[in-house]
Structure 1
Amino acid sequence: MPNPAATKASFSQRHPILFGLMLLAAAMALFGGAMAAFHLLPTGEFAGARLGVVRVEGLIVGSEDLVGWIGELERDDSIKGVLLRIDSPGGVVAPSQEVYAAVLRLAERKPVIASMGAVAASGGYYIAAAAQEIMANPSTLTGSIGVRMELLNIRALAEKVGLSQTLITSGEMKGAGTPFREMSPREREYLTAVVMDMHDQFVSDIAQARGMEREQVAALADGRAFTGRQAHGLGLVDHLGGMEDAMDLLRERCGLTGETPVLEGPIEEKSLLLRVLSAAIIEPVSEAVSEMTSAISAPRWVFLF
């Protein structure tokens, strides 16, 4: 008589795909734990001299991860210099300013070289300006120094579908920018003043960080984008070259020769499954919802190419 225990299929046989995913997730968790433990090990003689890399990629909508990573590199004595690799069209004003300030603090303690990828415009250029030197590819799109506010007017559409808004505010300007009616001249004047104040801050920070006359920067700060080669001729960029050229320059500024270990970040603390779901579903849906709600609900001030 057959033994039921002997003939019963194992979990891995009954659910091979699920079992494989569990094994993969476990392996990724172990690998992530090992990397985290290595990251927390004492530096100094054990780690030797290293270079840090800060990657600024995509739209700048938040600053916590970038500022936190820059702070880690600043405090780590084994990190002798930092490469700021930027591939971003810009983003929201305040986060761009926070990252800019963090890079300025870092550059007071260690050599920092900015390396521009395909695009480092508006907020991306703002952040790059805080580095001691900037290197761009000849065809990098950069510059685009300026601020824009995005507003949507759906009054005509709302009237067609019978949609109206009841707006109760505590002051005359609290409802400025609502998409359900035309903007009044006073509201336009008020919002333009906000935009121009942010623009003034942008221009002043670029002039100070780059050691340029404010009038010189202001003349270029009309929203125009430049190629890397044009920006180099205008004094917005110091060198022409790619990321490897920038790394060579950073080693030179740090007095390092030969191969040097590199520590890149910010590190995303996500499981494999969460990364797959995030890339396939969560991020696209979140971006779509964000675009819809920001367009309808409130104005946005952005440093964006």
Structure 2
Amino acid sequence: MSQGLFRHKHPVLTGLLVLGGIMLFFWGGITFFITSLANPSKSELFLKEGIGVIDIKGVILESEETLENMVAFREEPKIKAIVLRIDSPGGAVGASQEIYDEVRRTCDVKPVVASMGSVAASGGLYVSLGATKIVANPGTLTGSMGVILKFANLEGLFEKIGYKNEVVKSGRLKDIGSPSRPMTGEERLMLQGMIDIVQSQFVQAVAESRSLPAAEVRKIADGRIFSGQQAKEYGLVDQMGNFRDAVMLAADLAGLKGEKTPELIYPKGEDFSFLRLMTGKKNESLLQQTGLSGPILAYEWTGTLR
């Protein structure tokens, strides 16, 4: 009786509630349908033997997804080899090193071929070093072996707007990189020392993975960029070729004979996200992608192709 009275007194509100419920049910159905399409079961993913393909595109900010895919492909017996397709200017040092380590670990189980696309510079080059073989296009932009750490100096801007930053700190280096003041000589010296250590890690990784003398690597590890053809001349790349060439090389290393391109197996799609659908970005990385996460130690080429 009371429900009927409410509907009688508030027909518009009742209609809106009913309409909202229908829309919620409808949207839930669409989400479930898209998710089911984008996330087939593991048995559906690996019906045939083939070559796994893992993409590394854009700035490398995190490694978790790539590591997860690498481990899944390594443990799946129907995936005979893996192609790591790289189109990246590099990114965070830690993430690049984690991917490099996992690629090397995977090479002990099955072949991994790194395929360089348009750009595989700095951290993009670093992650490729763990592969069994590296394939690049003659015009691939690679190199940029080096470390960069950037801080904003907003002292002039703060003075114009009347902003003052009062700091209480436990040690003289605690607020290193503060945007409200210039960097001191002591701070710059300390940061340079840290960067030199991380740079030596890059040089060591190149020397060990490519069987090159560290002294020769240091000669070209000054941040310069070079083409895929030059990289081959330096001993950083095994052969020239496109993505299909890398796939066929991986198949050959895995013992899959035949002239036809083998079955290509990609990681399962991510869970459907309305935020990601609207932004085209991973919602967990939005803070990093907007540049609000603070300075990071980076193996990154900071040039632009546009």
Q: Which TM-score band (shorter chain)? A: 0.7 to 0.9
C-alpha RMSD over aligned residues: 2.5
Aligned to 2:272: 271
CA distance in 2, matches of 1:283, 1:62: 10
**Residues 37/241 of structure 1: CA separation in 2 closer, same or farther (3 Å cut):** closer
2:179 is aligned with 1:182: no
2:215 is aligned with 1:208: no
Identity %: 34
Aligned to 2:144: 144
1:286 CA displacement: 4.0
CA distance in 1, matches of 2:300, 2:281: 25
CA distance in 2, matches of 1:204, 1:269: 35
2:53 is aligned with 1:66: no
2:43 is aligned with 1:38: yes
Q: Do the aligned residues in 2 keep the contact of 1:59 with 1:91 (CA within 8 Å)?
A: yes
Q: Deviations over 1:39-85 (max 9, x none)?
A: 57xx6xxx453211111111100011111111111111221111110
Q: Do the aligned residues in 2 keep the contact of 1:28 with 1:272 (CA within 8 Å)?
A: no
SS of the residue aligned with 1:149?
A: coil
SS of the residue aligned with 1:148?
A: coil
CA distance in 2, matches of 1:287, 1:109: 34
2:166 is aligned with 1:166: yes
Aligned AA for 1:271? Answer: F
1:27 pairs with one of 22, 30, 33: 33
Q: Do the aligned residues in 1 keep the contact of 2:92 with 2:300 (CA within 8 Å)?
A: yes
2:296 is aligned with 1:300: yes
Aligned to 1:237: 237
Report the more deviating stretch, 116-125 or 156-165. Answer: 156-165
Gap runs ≥5 in structure 2: 1-18, 302-306
Aligned to 1:4: none
Q: Do the aligned residues in 2 keep the contact of 1:55 with 1:84 (CA within 8 Å)?
A: yes
Q: Do the aligned residues in 2 keep the contact of 1:60 with 1:96 (CA within 8 Å)?
A: yes
TM-score (normalizing by structure 1): 0.84
SS of the residue aligned with 2:266?
A: strand
SS of the residue aligned with 2:59?
A: coil
Report the more deviating stretch, 59-68 or 71-80. Answer: 71-80
**Residues 161/303 of structure 1: CA separation in 2 closer, same or farther (3 Å cut):** same
Report the more deviating stretch, 268-277 or 199-208. Answer: 268-277
Q: Deviations over 1:204-243 (max 9, x none)?
A: 1111111111111111100011111111111111111110
Aligned AA for 2:253? Answer: R
Aligned to 2:263: 261
Q: Do the aligned residues in 1 keep the contact of 2:61 with 2:288 (CA within 8 Å)?
A: no
Report the more deviating stretch, 115-124 or 168-177. Answer: 168-177
CA distance in 2, matches of 1:275, 1:186: 43
**Residues 39/145 of structure 1: CA separation in 2 closer, same or farther (3 Å cut):** farther
Q: Do the aligned residues in 1 keep the contact of 2:114 with 2:246 (CA within 8 Å)?
A: yes
Aligned AA for 1:169? Answer: K
**Residues 76/194 of structure 1: CA separation in 2 closer, same or farther (3 Å cut):** same
1:285 CA displacement: 6.2
Q: Do the aligned residues in 2 keep the contact of 1:83 with 1:115 (CA within 8 Å)?
A: yes
TM-score (normalizing by structure 2): 0.84
The residue correspondences of 1:125-140 to structure 2 (distance < 5 A) are 125-140=125-140
Aligned AA for 1:300? Answer: I
1:156 CA displacement: 1.1
SS of the residue aligned with 2:279?
A: helix
1:164 CA displacement: 1.2
Aligned to 1:223: 223
CA distance in 2, matches of 1:251, 1:230: 26
CA distance in 2, matches of 1:68, 1:116: 21
1:107 CA displacement: 0.8
Q: Do the aligned residues in 2 keep the contact of 1:53 with 1:262 (CA within 8 Å)?
A: yes
1:102 CA displacement: 0.2
Q: Do the aligned residues in 1 keep the contact of 2:275 with 2:283 (CA within 8 Å)?
A: no
The residue correspondences of 1:103-118 to structure 2 (distance < 5 A) are 103-118=103-118
1:29 CA displacement: 3.0
**Residues 76/202 of structure 1: CA separation in 2 closer, same or farther (3 Å cut):** same
1:300 CA displacement: 2.1
Gap runs ≥5 in structure 1: 1-13
Report the more deviating stretch, 63-72 or 271-280. Answer: 271-280
